[in-house]
């Protein structure tokens, strides 16, 4: 599908939505009002769960916070619904920021479980907080007025709901294709990966969490003024589950999935409510839940990814031109060749009783390739983690470019100019080669959340994209920038990781076992690439088990065994050292 077809489809969809009240019955329009409102909540969940990987059952609670905020401001205190909106957004944003700050350091299931806990807590607060009308709720919520015109009829608020939804979708779309949005999409790659790119993972999580809550807040505001009444029931735990279901059924990785999921579940529910009483006249309400649970289990079995990706994968691919060259992003001043760049002094790392790195010291001069080798279990990866800040050292001192980085956070070290790759490749398989490499430019660009959503970042973005394309070309992957990273063979994934590291304009590139798992021609290609990088003046540290790979490539070698430094020197001397041969033979035996 070309960009033009996509644009035409978008315009057609907007026209269909805009004219719906002219050809649909009022009852159907009411249904569409609900679909629009639920789509907003589901949109937040697409960002939170589908994009950023945090499963939340608590979105209904945020919708409720906003609904109660605006209801109490308007029905009880008599202010206008527009002030109610402001109050609802501020209150929901605050509650989300506090809950997020407390819970977002939890991982995986624990985070999801916590959303159930606070979801329930908020629900019962609505029912028991003095002045909120208990479980009977707050009646008499006024309608939203535009000027002196009150949006009373279902086809009037319809336009407001869908206008808000469409704007929210467009802004989210912009956001996801911006610097902050890419960081959100990268979160699923794990903390080690995003922090190594200079991203503050917690902050990005918190931003995503609050944005998702604010989308739910918009929905809650619309809901309160449309139904003119709030009570705790529409914001209970089953609703929280239902919203998650909507996002998943639609396709939680896709913005459009929110609308498709909300529409499908709402229409299906409506149909079930119509037909179920014919089959089970006495217990239709409870049977509805049973029917939905069964449908959901079937869905999880057969179409887990959701409807939108299912359809999207069957459409012809969008053809796009590679990014145009542009003015380069600002570059670092590289240190003069031969200067001491990195210094490890007496580094120690213990794991309980095990000393994985035992009093290791070495130096790295700028412009050289240094190999850190040793048999399996020698402590190479641990040393690597100390250098990159992935693990704190138990003792010792690490200096980089005359700055002490011993206790520095990973992202601080990344910003200082050390770019790394991973022993087990950490890429985002569902992101394009270009987007993966763009992640590397994070520390060299500045556009924030709002700039991304409002497309104020386009000039910088153009330069960043040109830079990413240039790095792809530099490593020999420039011909298919929009291919998904997951489709590459392992050798090329390693090389893509190097391109991502290079996009950060590093002073030092550190590679953990880059040759592991590669076939011989892939190893040769990698060695050629690393040599050409050295010729361009880059300093490289390679941690490697494969002695042959290292020998022909590096300027100097440091050998580790049992956590300690065995020896160091130029490759020929190290290779001839009987202790090194014994360590390697011993390691194999």
Residues lying near ligand ADP in the complex (CB under 6 A) are found at 351, 354, 356, 374, 376-382
Half-sphere exposure of 284 (CA within 13 A, CB side): 12
From the number of C-beta atoms within 10 Å of its C-beta (0-12, 13-18, 19+), residue 342 rates as buried
Taking the least distance from each CB to Mg ion, the nearer of 381 and 410 is 381
Q: Which one, 364 or 502, has the nearer CB to ligand ADP?
A: 364
Collect all residues with Cβ–Cβ distance below 8 Å to 54 and sequence separation of at least 6.
Answer: 48, 104, 111, 112, 187, 205, 208, 209
Distance of closest approach, residue 513 Cβ to Mg ion, in angstroms: 6
Instruction: Write down the least CB distance from residue 511 to ligand ADP, Å.
Output: 13
Which residue's entry shows tokens 């080669």? 433
- Token pair of 170, please? 């467009």
Instruction: State the Cα angle at 108 between 103 and 111, rounded to 5°.
Output: 25
Residue 239 binds which entry of Mg ion, ligand ADP, none, with Cβ cut-offs from 5 to 8 Å by kind? none
* DSSP category for residue 322: P
- d(CA 329, CA 341) in angstroms, rounded, equals 24
Of 202, 244, 308, 242, the C-alpha closest to 43 is 244
Residue with smaller CB distance to Mg ion, 70 or 381: 381
Q: What share of the chain is helix, strand, coil (3-state, %, to 5)?
A: 60, 10, 30
Q: Which stretch binds Mg ion (CB under 5 A): 40-48, 213-221, 344-352, 376-384?
A: 376-384
- Least Å distance, CB 394 to ligand ADP, is 12
Minimum distance from residue 543 beta carbon to ligand ADP (Å): 7
* Smaller CB separation from ligand ADP, 282 or 376: 376
SS (H, E, C) 4-37: HHHHHHHHHHHHHHHHHHHHCCHHHHHHHHHHHH
Is residue 469 a contact residue for Mg ion (CB under 5 A)?
no
Q: Does 381 bind Mg ion (CB under 5 A)?
A: yes
Q: Which is nearer to ligand ADP, 380 or 444 (CB)?
A: 380
CB under 8 Å to 319, separation ≥6 — which residues? 2
In the complex, the smallest distance separating the C-beta of residue 411 from Mg ion, rounded to whole angstroms, is 22
Tokens 């240039």 map to which residue? 470
CB of 545 to ligand ADP, least distance (A): 7
Q: Which two tokens stand for residue 517?
A: 């798992």
Question: To the nearest whole angstrom, how small is the minimum distance from the Cβ of residue 376 to ligand ADP?
Answer: 4
Question: Whose Cβ is closer to Mg ion: residue 106's or residue 355's?
Answer: 355
From first CA to last CA, the distance across the chain in angstroms is: 57
Query: What is the 8-class DSSP label of residue 79?
Result: -
When computed from its CA atoms, the radius of gyration of the chain, rounded to whole angstroms, is 28
User: CB of residue 516 vs Mg ion: minimum separation in angstroms?
Assistant: 8
Q: 172 vs 381, which CB is nearer to ligand ADP?
A: 381
Q: How far is the CB of 520 from ligand ADP (least distance, A)?
A: 22
32-35: which pairs have CB atoms within 8 A and are 24 or more residues apart? 32/158, 32/162, 33/154, 33/157, 33/158, 33/161, 33/226, 34/266, 35/259, 35/262, 35/263, 35/266, 35/267
Nearer to Mg ion, 292 or 422 (CB): 422
Q: Which two tokens stand for residue 458?
A: 């386009």
Binder of residue 356, out of ligand ADP, Mg ion, none (CB less than 5 to 8 A by kind): ligand ADP
Task: Choose the one of ligand ADP, Mg ion, none that binds residue 376, judging by a C-beta under 5 to 8 angstroms depending on kind.
Answer: ligand ADP
Min. distance of Cβ 374 from Mg ion in angstroms? 9
Inter-residue contact 238 to 121 (CB < 8 Å):
no
Note whether 388 binds Mg ion by CB under 5 A: no
Q: Which is nearer to ligand ADP, 45 or 398 (CB)?
A: 398
Which does residue 374 bind out of ligand ADP, Mg ion, none, counting CB within 5 to 8 angstroms by kind? Answer: ligand ADP
Residue 354 contact, options Mg ion, ligand ADP, none, Cβ 5-8 Å cut-off depending on partner type: ligand ADP
Q: Tell me which residue of 183, 202, 142, 536 sits closest to 337, measured CA to CA.
A: 536
Rounded least distance, CB 527 to Mg ion, Å: 19
For residue 377, the partner it binds in ligand ADP, Mg ion, none, with Cβ less than 5 to 8 A by kind, is ligand ADP
Q: Whose Cβ is closer to ligand ADP: residue 463's or residue 565's?
A: 565
How many residues touch Mg ion under the rule CB under 5 A: the total is 1
Which part of the chain contacts Mg ion (CB under 5 A), choosing from 5-13, 381-389, 454-462, 517-525? 381-389
Shortest distance in whole angstroms from residue 398 CB to ligand ADP: 16
Tokens of 98: 């506090």
> For the chain, what's the residue count?
589
Which of ligand ADP, Mg ion, none binds 378 (CB below 5-8 Å, type-dependent)? ligand ADP
Candidates 1-9, 291-299, 373-381, 498-506: pick the segment binding Mg ion (CB under 5 A): 373-381
**CB closer to ligand ADP out of 322 and 377:** 377
Give the residue among 176, 191, 209 at the shortest CA–CA distance from 438. Answer: 176
3-state secondary structure of 357: strand
Our CB check for ligand ADP shows the closer of 93 and 374 to be 374
CA distance linking residue 146 with residue 151, whole number of Å: 7
| Residues forming the site for Mg ion (CB under 5 A) | 381
């Amino acid at each position: 599908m070309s960009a033009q077809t996509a644009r035409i489809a978008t315009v057609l969809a907007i026209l269909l939505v805009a004219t719906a009240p002219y050809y649909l019955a009022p009852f159907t329009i009411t249904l569409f009002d609900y679909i629009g409102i639920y789509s907003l909540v589901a949109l937040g969940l697409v960002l939170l769960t589908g994009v950023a990987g945090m499963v939340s059952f608590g979105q209904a609670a945020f919708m409720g916070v906003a609904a109660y905020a605006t209801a109490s401001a308007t029905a009880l205190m008599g202010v206008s619904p527009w002030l109610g909106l402001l109050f609802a957004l501020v209150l929901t944003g605050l509650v989300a920021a506090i809950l997020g700050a407390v819970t977002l350091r939890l991982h995986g299931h624990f985070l999801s479980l916590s959303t159930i806990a606070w979801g329930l807590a908020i629900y019962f607060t609505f029912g028991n907080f003095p002045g909120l009308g208990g479980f009977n709720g707050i009646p008499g919520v006024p309608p939203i007025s535009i000027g002196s015109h009150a949006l009373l009829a279902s086809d009037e608020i319809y336009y407001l709901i869908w206008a808000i939804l469409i704007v929210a979708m467009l802004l989210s779309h912009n956001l996801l294709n911006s610097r902050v949005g890419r960081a959100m999409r990268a979160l699923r790659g794990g903390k080690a990966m995003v922090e190594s790119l200079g991203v503050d993972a917690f902050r990005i999580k918190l931003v995503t969490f609050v944005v998702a809550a604010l989308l739910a807040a918009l929905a809650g505001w619309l809901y309160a003024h449309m139904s003119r009444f709030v009570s705790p029931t529409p914001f209970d735990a089953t609703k929280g589950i239902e919203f998650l279901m909507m996002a998943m059924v639609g396709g939680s990785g896709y913005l459009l999935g929110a609308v498709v999921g909300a529409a499908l579940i709402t229409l299906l529910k409506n149909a079930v409510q119509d037909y179920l009483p014919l089959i089970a006249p006495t217990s239709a309400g409870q049977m509805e839940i049973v029917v939905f649970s069964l449908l959901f289990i079937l869905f999880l079995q057969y179409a887990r990814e959701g409807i939108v990706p299912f359809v999207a994968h069957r459409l012809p691919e969008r053809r796009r031109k590679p990014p145009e060259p542009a003015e380069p992003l600002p570059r670092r001043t590289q240190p003069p060749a031969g200067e001491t760049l990195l210094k490890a002094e007496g580094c120690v790392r213990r794991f309980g009783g095990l000393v994985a790195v035992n009093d290791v010291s070495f130096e790295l001069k700028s412009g050289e390739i240094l190999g850190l080798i040793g048999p399996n279990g020698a402590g190479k990866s641990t040393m690597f983690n100390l250098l990159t800040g992935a693990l704190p050292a138990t003792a010792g001192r690490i200096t980089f470019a005359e700055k002490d980085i011993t206790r520095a956070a990973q992202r601080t070290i990344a910003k200082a100019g050390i770019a790394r790759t991973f022993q087990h490749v950490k890429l985002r398989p569902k992101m394009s080669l270009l987007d993966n490499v763009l992640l590397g430019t994070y520390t060299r660009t500045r556009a924030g959340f709002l700039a991304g959503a409002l497309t104020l970042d386009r000039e910088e973005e153009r330069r960043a994209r040109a830079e990413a394309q240039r790095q792809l070309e530099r490593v020999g992957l420039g011909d298919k920038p929009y291919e998904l990273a997951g489709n590459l063979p392992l050798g090329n994934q390693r090389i893509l990781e190097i391109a991502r590291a290079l996009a950060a304009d590093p002073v030092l590139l550190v590679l953990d076992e880059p040759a592991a798992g590669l076939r011989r021609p892939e190893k040769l290609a990698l060695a050629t690439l690393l040599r050409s990088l050295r010729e361009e003046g880059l300093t490289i540290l390679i941690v490697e088990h494969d002695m042959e790979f290292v020998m022909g490539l590096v300027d100097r070698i440091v050998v580790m065994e049992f956590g300690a430094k065995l020896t160091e020197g130029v490759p020929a001397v190290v290779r001839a050292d009987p202790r090194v041969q014994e360590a390697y033979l011993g390691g194999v035996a």
